[in-house]
Structure 1
């Protein structure tokens, strides 16, 4: 192979690599925003008022697809649970994760996606708080200062939100706090080299445990869900398609998240995540036509700026 051919081959490989990365990012954006909007449509607009059952459907799909992806397709090497203690740690994470997803789905019944995303952007605040409480790890003073606009922005957005609902707000804050708690607990529980699992293997083990937790919870708290679901299906068979597609999309979010991190970096994923929230807000407003106020948008913008400053501060301190 001549030097020119080698240059052309390298250029083609680089171009294909960039194209694949862009495709991954677009897929991650589409699945992330898609599952959020479809959850909102099902739980609020469509009238399927069973967030716990919907979460159980998501976890069931994640259980099946995770096994296929890891054990059959070998997307990532399969890691085994080495001890009973490690299993208990994973079960603890699964419980916290269930609380996060269920609370988030409940909040979508009462809040527009735009406000939901504004509250969700405060995750760094709760992460810093739980990290300090549980590990006594202090960040630099400038990092804590950057959290002020994060929290202030949500207060401003709440005051200017036309569709504010107190219970939905509490559920969304709970979901955001639980999401942050899960990341901190994961860092504590699975910190040793022998216990670390990549995100796909962790999902493989967490999902079935989540189904076991959510099944009795659904039976107790949404006891008439099967009968009413059959009644809704008789009226509109598309409900089955919505649930299957929505559940598959929930797994695809985790898969693309893992692949984007693998082919870029965790920092890139964080930056893309900040932009994803803004895109989700715009798309949801266009689709659902929920009213927004200038004060609310200013509050959300302040929160996003705070999150960006927080990310930059963390990057510099590390």
Structure 2
């Protein structure tokens, strides 16, 4: 049975259609343990009055808990805990220990217990608010890191996308380890073989290319056009899946990809800030992102090698740093010295880099949590809407010129992505 410990507090929690009531009680010196229990429970209970039947009994062998009777404990450290589980609306306390040959037996019943309907409504409301908070955090971190990347690389003049990506991966390495090893947000999964390590390294390399190219493209293209190109990821995913696995989709699925590609072509023709090199790099970043997705399905397909996204990031991020470090030293020479020189004139650059790097990790964390707490269909809808929100916010902030033709092209691409997702779902 799972346990949550609260000091002099009580709270109903939904555990597999049961309510779990948990107390942590500290023995009050000079007061019999049973009285200390009654006082603590009475003081902490916020669910109604309690009736108690308490008595002492000399210990003579272990006593088995009954339907409404349990063994209350006092440890030599003068601290005790009572864990009472409430199943099918019947309180069943259960806790066992020794204390100088004596035990206290405690029996109690609830009065004015909240109704199941009230508890269900409260839990559903809390769950809904939690999910809304997760989605808001996902949107904020995702759009925030995108806009801050654009500001640093284009408006601020920090023209070092490889170093910026390395900062992101360093933060992801450290924060992933803290979240998994220290905070236990998810169970840690280990790499089981050298072959699995090489597969993860290959994924990390492709991942590096997609992120670096995406950051480079932001130097030359507005965020709105960048997002329009990024929306074509399903097209490249379908192409790579066919080329690498010979997996064929239903004909209707391929038909829905036509508006995806057509929309980008229209948007490109109507983009006032079109830049050929930026366009090619952004296409390459989108293709690399799709390739990484297909490779992940191929390389980590066996049950023994599958890793959840948090553990995969834990191993991919430090490998990415190893790839990016020599690339930074060769292609962005003396970037550390230049950054320190910038910091002497404007210390905000350091805070921008730290905040941006932390946001890059929270993009992955919130994406994992949203995936965990919503359905696949909801995630697809939210993902499509996120791109549209990013476009609107970026236009409002950066005031980049947009044309009606460009917006029509982007809208057509988004419609194609929605139709593609629906066709994929129906074909399964």
* Count, aligned residues: 318
Query: Within 2, Cα distance between the matches of 1:148 and 1:272?
Result: 22
Task: Compare CA radii of gyration and give the structure with the larger one.
Answer: 2
SS of 2:380 mapped into structure 1 = helix
1:230 and 2:340 correspond? yes
Q: Does 1:89 align with 2:199?
A: yes
Structure 1 segments unaligned to the other structure (5+ residues): none
Quote the Cα distance in structure 2 between the aligned partners of 1:12 and 1:254. 30
Q: Take 1:226 and 1:191, find their aligned partners in 2: how far apart are those partners?
A: 40
Higher helix share: 1
The residue that corresponds to 2:420 in the other structure is 310
Q: How does 1:132-151 map onto structure 2 within 5 Å?
A: 132-151=242-261
Are positions 1:182 and 2:257 aligned together? no
Residue 283 of structure 2 corresponds to residue 173 of structure 1: yes
**What is the distance in 2 between the residues matched to 1:267 and 1:134?**
26
**1:241 pairs with one of 326, 351, 369:** 351
Deviations 1:87-118 (A, max 9, x none): 00000000000000000000000000000000
**TM-score, length-normalised on structure 2?**
0.74
**Separation of aligned partners in 1, 2:384 and 2:171:** 27
Structure number with higher strand proportion: 2
2:385 maps to which residue? 275
| Consecutive unaligned residues in structure 2, runs of 5 or more | 1-88, 90-111
Alpha-carbon distance, 1:227 to partner: 1.8
* Deviation of the 1:5 alpha carbon: 1.6
1:267 CA drift (Å): 2.8
The within-5 A match list for 1:72-87 is: 72-87=182-197
Cα deviation for residue 78 of structure 1 reads 0.6
Q: Which has the bigger relative contact order, CA under 8 A and spacing at least 6?
A: 1
2-structure distance, mates of 1:152, 1:113: 19
Cα deviation, residue 3, structure 1:
8.4
1:123 shift after superposition: 0.2
Q: Could you tell me the TM-score, scaled by structure 1's length?
A: 0.99
Q: Which runs of 4+ in 1 moved over 3 A?
A: 1-4
Match of 1:63 in 2: 173
Distance 1:18 1:85 in 2: 42
1:301 counterpart SS class = helix
SS at match of 1:233: helix
Structure 1 match to 2:397: 287
- CA deviation profile, 1:289-317 (whole Å, cap 9, x unmatched): 00000000000000000000000000101
**How far apart, CA to CA, are the structure 2 residues paired with 1:71 and 1:265?**
27
RMSD: 0.9
